[in-house]
Amino acid sequence: MPIEPDFLDRLAGLERALRHRTDSRRQGEQQSPNVGEGLTFSDHRRYTPGDDVRLIDWRVYARTDEHFIKRYEADRDLTVHVLLDSSASMDFGSGAANKFEFGARVGLAFAYFAVAGHDSFRFATIGTDAERLDRGRSTRGELLRLVDGVNGTTPGGRTDFFDALASYARTIRSRSLVVVVSDFLDDPDAIEDGLAALGDSDVLLVHLVAPEERDPDVSGDTVFEDPETGSTQRAYFGGTTAEGYRDRLSEHVDDVEARARRLRAEHVVVDTGADFFDAFGDIWTAREPGTADDIRRV
């Protein structure tokens, strides 16, 4: 089912709610009086609710009657890079629980929040390579184009994490958060090598698992097909076979998490059968300082 443009309007409501939640959490916390001290002044941006009021440039306010925030070199040029897996295995799950559609919504939400936070975003699909969908414009108009872009993408083929991530890493030019949205159905060694190729960027893995993957609605003599290679295997699914399948899925997810942690990347498992806005709210809130242990599974 295609993503409708009004999805962005619903993200606006979510962004306001999460900002309010963050502001409430910060109330009463002791903050350093030396905000910005020792940093090189860069430029200004408009004040938005939730910004530190101590960074308001009151001289600019006296001239313009508008609130602007002083920006320092350490604060500028954050780019959020969304890398959305578009391999055939992502075309799994029914309705809103489809992995590709759910993942596209996650990617669009990160892009939207980047724009709301005055940061830049880049958006690409990954398979055996990386293909940019954005035009380098971090605007609401570009977000609307991305909705059309992901709606027009048909998952297919396979994912080569090392080739795709290593190729994309060469395009990263500034301080970055790289959000990789995938079901990570690949060799864990290739996944680890791909993550290592991203270098010093902050990395978040959004690991999608559909309800039908956790508990396949099949039993008895069944033919299973690999969506990326087309190979098939006949097996009796039930009893110890079903239990073994679930154990292997859990072990694979844990292996990906362990490798991500070794490379200092964050990893979160998301059930695509969950309400999207609840799930994304949990992901975003868990990324705040002091809540890292909560990000593992939502």
Domains of the chain by range and CATH? 6-13+76-294 (3.40.50.410)
Average pLDDT, the chain: 82
pLDDT tens digit string along 130-145?
999 999 999 999 999 9
Measured distance CA(272)–CA(279) in Å, rounded: 9
**pTM of the full structure:** 0.78
Burial 242-251 (b: 16+ CB within 10 A, else e): eeebeeeeee
Residue 212: its pLDDT value, please?
85
- The mean pLDDT value for 221-237 works out to 60
- pLDDT value at 218 more than 70: no
Q: Which residue has the higher pLDDT, 182 or 237?
A: 182
Is the alpha carbon torsion for 11, 279, 152, 174 positive or negative? positive
The answer, yes or no, to whether residue 288 has pLDDT greater than 90, is: no
Q: 3-state secondary structure string, 9-40? A: HHHHHHHHHHHHHHHHHHCCCCCCCCCCCCCC
pLDDT the model gives residue 59: 76
Q: Band of the pLDDT at 70, cuts 50, 70, 90?
A: low
Q: What is the largest CA-CA distance in the chain?
A: 77
Distance separating alpha carbons of residues 109 and 143, to the nearest angstrom: 10
pLDDT digits (tens, 9 = 90+) for 28-46: 443 443 444 444 445 667 7
Give the pLDDT score at 255: 97
Q: What is the C-alpha separation between 196 and 243, in angstroms, rounded?
A: 33
In 55-129, at which residue ranges do the beta strands (DSSP E only) sit?
68-72, 79-85, 120-126
How many percent of the chain have pLDDT more than 70? 74
Angle (deg, nearest 10), helices 161-169 and 188-197: 0
174 within 8 A of 77, measured Cβ to Cβ: yes
Number of other residues whose CB lies within 10 A of the CB of residue 78 = 17
State which amino acid sits at residue 173.
R
Dig out the tokens for 287 from the structure: 């990324």
Residue range 247-271, pLDDT digits in tens: 899 999 999 999 999 999 999 999 9
